[in-house]
Amino acid sequence: MDFSVYFTGFTMGLTLIMAIGAQNAFVLRQGLRGDHVFAVCLACALSDAILITVGVTAFRQIATVMPAIEPAMRYAGAAFLVWYGAKSLQSALRSSEVLAAASGTVAPFATTLLTCVALTWLNPHVYLDTVVLLGTISTQFPDKEAVFGAGAATASGVFFFSLGYGARLLRPVFANPFAWRILEGIIALVMWLIALTLLTGG
């Protein structure tokens, strides 16, 4: 295994998935309350693994059949990342309300799982992140796309289980909006760096 490619996949996957959004806020809420944490984290990690696998195994074949799709997706992905980075920077400059997701009544297991699946599979951004962006980046590693994808999928699992089970420990820290601002600022910078990589083909 090429560990440099694996680590690149891990880093890219972690960077994309750690952006604060509805799915992560939901996992955070479940972790803070200790409510169906394992099932929620597993559902998120498996969903990402499936989508990442589709991206790294099928994107090159699609690009071969339709040569124009790779540069189109590259520029579209870069544009999205620039916009996403700008939104993260905007969030970094104002208070965060993420911990509001920790409120509410305890839902049954089936309802919780369905909500988790819906937040994952009905979110158009997840396809852009996993299938398009990671699929596009993986093409920069010919014959090693699977290694890149394995790294990205590992990052997803590590992130969701860390967020779910570490939420209680992190609650005192992230009760402070300034901590979220710092995280959002880092995310904005990394998103722009990835966009630059896509635009330059580096």
The residue type found at 58 is: A
| Per-residue model confidence (pLDDT) at position 163 | 92
- On whether the CB atoms of residues 9 and 155 are closer than 8 A, the answer is yes
CA within 13 Å, CB half, 26: 20
**Which token pair is 72?**
């189109």
pLDDT greater at residue 10 or residue 32: 10
Instruction: List all residues 6 or more positions away from 70 whose beta carbon is below 8 Å from its beta carbon.
Output: 59, 63, 136, 139
pLDDT digits (tens, 9 = 90+) for 46-103: 999 999 999 898 876 766 766 766 677 778 778 877 887 888 788 777 755 444 444 4
What average pLDDT does the segment 10-31 reach? Answer: 82
CB atoms within 10 A of CB 165: 14
Q: Which spans in the chain are helix H?
A: 3-17, 22-33, 37-65, 69-92, 109-121, 124-127, 134-138, 145-174, 177-200
Instruction: List all residues 6 or more positions away from 6 whose beta carbon is below 8 Å from its beta carbon.
Output: 147, 148, 150, 151, 154
Give the pLDDT band of residue 124 (cuts 50, 70, 90).
low
The dihedral sign for the CA sequence 159, 162, 165, 167: negative
pLDDT digits (tens, 9 = 90+) for 125-148: 788 788 888 988 888 888 899 999
Give the pLDDT band of residue 20 (cuts 50, 70, 90).
low
Give the pLDDT band of residue 37 (cuts 50, 70, 90).
very high
CA within 13 Å, CB half, 13: 32
